[in-house]
Chain A
Amino acid sequence: MRSLFGQPVTRRLLLAGGALLGGVHAARLALGGAAAQTHGPGHAMPITDGQPSAALSAAHASHGGMMTVGEVDTARNGFDPHTLLTDWDTGEVIRDDQGRPCREFVVEAIDKEVEIAPGIFFPAWTYNGRIPGPTIRAVEGERVRITFRNRGSHPHSMHFHGIHSARMDGVPGAGDVLPGGQFVYEFDARPFGCHLYHCHTVPLKRHIHKGLYGAFIVDPDPARHPEHEAVARSRLLGTPENREWQEFVMVMNAFDTNFDEENEVYAVNTVAHAYSKRPIVIDRGRPVRIYLVNVTEFDPINSLHLHGNFFDYYDSGTTLTPTLRTVDIITQCQGQRGILEFTYQDHEPGHYMFHAHQSEFVELGWMSLFDVRGEVA
Chain B
Amino acid sequence: MTTRRMILALAVAAPLLLIVAVAIAFLAADPLRSLTGAAPPVEQVTVERQVLDGDGIGLLVRVGGTEPVRIAQVQVDGAYWTFVQEPSGELGNLSSAWLRIPYPWVLGETHHIALITRTGLAFEHTIDVAVATPDTNSLGVLGMVGLFVGVVPVALGMLFYPALQVGGTRAFSFSLALTIGLLGFLLVDTLQEALELAADAAPGLHGVALVWLVAALAFVLLLAVGRRKGGEVSGLALATSIALGIGLHNLGEGLAIGSAFATGAAALGTFLVLGFTLHNVTEGIGIVAPLVQEPPRWPVFIGLAALAGLPAVAGIWLGSYAFSPHWAALALAVGAGAILQVIVEVSGLLMRRSATQGTPWASASAVLGVILGVTVMYGTALLVQA
- Which of A7, A24, A41, A57 is B141 in contact with, Cβ under 8 Å? A24
A-B pair count, CB < 8 Å, reads 202
CB distance B120 to A121 under 8 Å? yes
A357 smallest CB distance to B (angstroms): 15
Contact flag A3-B121 (CB < 8 Å), given A55-B54, A120-B72, A364-B80: no
CB distance A119 to B104 under 8 Å? no
* Cα-based distance from A264 to B73 in the complex (angstroms): 10
* Cα-based distance from A70 to B381 in the complex (angstroms): 50
B349 smallest CB distance to A (angstroms): 27
A365 smallest CB distance to B (angstroms): 6
Note all chain A residues with C-beta closer than 8 A to B384: 1, 3-4
CB distance B265 to A4 under 8 Å? yes
Contact flag A21-B116 (CB < 8 Å), given A59-B84, A118-B72, A363-B79: no
- Which of A20, A40, A364 is B78 in contact with, Cβ under 8 Å? A364
A254 smallest CB distance to B (angstroms): 12
Interface bits B104-137 vs A (CB < 8 Å: 1, else 0)? 1111101000101111111000001111101101
Residue B232, interface by CB 8 Å:
no
CB distance B121 to A257 under 8 Å? yes
Note all chain A residues with C-beta closer than 8 A to B252: 1
Nearest residue (CB) in A for B145 is: A22
Nearest residue (CB) in B for A60 is: B82
Nearest residue (CB) in A for B271 is: A17
Residue A152, interface by CB 8 Å:
no
CB distance A36 to B270 under 8 Å? no
Note all chain A residues with C-beta closer than 8 A to B82: 59-60, 65, 67, 69
CB distance A21 to B269 under 8 Å? yes
* Cα-based distance from A67 to B385 in the complex (angstroms): 41
CB distance B79 to A66 under 8 Å? yes
Residue B276, interface by CB 8 Å:
yes
* Cα-based distance from A17 to B117 in the complex (angstroms): 37
- Which of B55, B78, B266 is A360 in contact with, Cβ under 8 Å? B78
Nearest residue (CB) in A for B250 is: A1
Which of A24, A68, A365 is the most central at the interface, judged by chain B CB atoms within 10 Å of its CB? Answer: A68
Nearest residue (CB) in A for B128 is: A14
Residue A18, interface by CB 8 Å:
yes
Residue B293, interface by CB 8 Å:
no
- Which of B141, B189, B260 is A25 in contact with, Cβ under 8 Å? B141
* Cα-based distance from A37 to B253 in the complex (angstroms): 32
Interface bits A242-283 vs B (CB < 8 Å: 1, else 0)? 000000000000010110000010000000110000000000
CB distance B54 to A35 under 8 Å? yes
Interface bits A1-39 vs B (CB < 8 Å: 1, else 0)? 111111101010111111111101110111111111101
A51 smallest CB distance to B (angstroms): 14
Contact flag A29-B131 (CB < 8 Å), given A3-B384, A41-B104, A121-B119: yes
* Cα-based distance from A366 to B100 in the complex (angstroms): 24
CB distance B266 to A17 under 8 Å? yes
Note all chain A residues with C-beta closer than 8 A to B56: 36, 40, 56
CB distance B104 to A42 under 8 Å? yes
* Cα-based distance from A119 to B253 in the complex (angstroms): 41
Note all chain A residues with C-beta closer than 8 A to B196: 2, 5-6
Note all chain B residues with C-beta closer than 8 A to A66: 79-81
CB distance A40 to B103 under 8 Å? yes
Note all chain A residues with C-beta closer than 8 A to B353: none
CB distance B102 to A18 under 8 Å? no
B173 smallest CB distance to A (angstroms): 29
B337 smallest CB distance to A (angstroms): 17
CB distance A42 to B265 under 8 Å? no
B193 smallest CB distance to A (angstroms): 5
Note all chain B residues with C-beta closer than 8 A to A17: 266-272
Note all chain B residues with C-beta closer than 8 A to A22: 141, 144-145
CB distance A32 to B268 under 8 Å? no
* Cα-based distance from A360 to B78 in the complex (angstroms): 7
CB distance A14 to B265 under 8 Å? yes
CB distance A257 to B116 under 8 Å? yes
Note all chain A residues with C-beta closer than 8 A to B54: 32, 35-36, 39, 55
Nearest residue (CB) in B for A255 is: B120
A298 smallest CB distance to B (angstroms): 14
* Cα-based distance from A41 to B252 in the complex (angstroms): 39
CB distance B129 to A258 under 8 Å? no
10 contacts between A and B (CB under 8 A): A3-B275, A13-B271, A17-B270, A18-B129, A28-B137, A32-B53, A35-B54, A56-B56, A67-B81, A120-B72
List 7 other contacts, CB 8 Å, given A5-B193, A40-B102, A69-B73. A3-B382, A17-B269, A17-B270, A36-B105, A60-B102, A65-B102, A118-B73
